[in-house]
A and B are shown apart, each in its own frame.
Chain A
């Protein structure tokens, strides 16, 4: 069963964070189609947040077609979001870990690394549009 957490100083509203965590869990294979998501009461009990927040997140996930709510039983995962399969995700993550190690040894601080990643994402997006 997945447990959620909320980042303390995130700009993202809580329900968006929950949706993201479910998507990531699905991509990583932690959650699989057929698994049951925690009940609203369980999430709310562990996070001390408003139940409507969780309801909103689950509704969003339902709209994305990732989960399905069954009255009286729970909310179940229906499919995996589009993205690379878990082993490919793991391989990409390993490559990234190696590169980050290289960058740090070269003298880049974490903040510089983040800026570089964002810059590359931005330019590649522009190129994709163009």
Chain B
């Protein structure tokens, strides 16, 4: 089987190696200079977002790694078994003496080992590179950054691979399998990110006067904010009351609003929970991956060639 897997997928392996190399080089080079600059600025306590000036291209490249899991799901997951079902070569390879069971087992190991390694390599590089950015510019707990750093992207990668695998087995044709893989991946990720992630643990809420300003503490995940009047949440369009708006300065109008009983309630997940959330999200996608793989295996064993 080793020879067969290598012969079948050596082109994909080569492309992956080249792409990974092409990614790693700029990341490693710029990353080391960023780290050096960061160490320097920390000594004089003058680190600001401008540290990343001049690194916009690599920054974009790093951000683009959000696509990596979907690409792997498409080009590895949907193909590794699906293509053989589509072309009918399963009738050739399943009548050799290797047995369908060993064939499938080897293919699964190859797929998930490759997905794990690629996902880990990419996210490892991204996480290392982003430490400067996390400290100076954005929270790593928010949106895109959460998705490309840490262990969550590894979970996404094996999920996408499993989704591609299952799609290939169900549809047995490249186009529908790819469509289902991409559509399913985007759909599930959006649902998890928008609706589930903010609530993995009960969020923390703090009340403050409006003068304190909007926005959760640095490094935390913003869940939402509400404006309250005398303890009641104000919904819909909120208008500045006239008496506080009349031409006065900002601090004065804030004080005016405080006097009237307006409050800001900020709901967020504290920065300290970052890794817990990373592992929870990894766990969710890993569990989905296992489920999809089981479905794929059962379908393949039950259905005829």
Q: Judge A-B direct contact (beta carbons within 8 Å).
A: no
Binding site for B on A (CB under 8 A): none
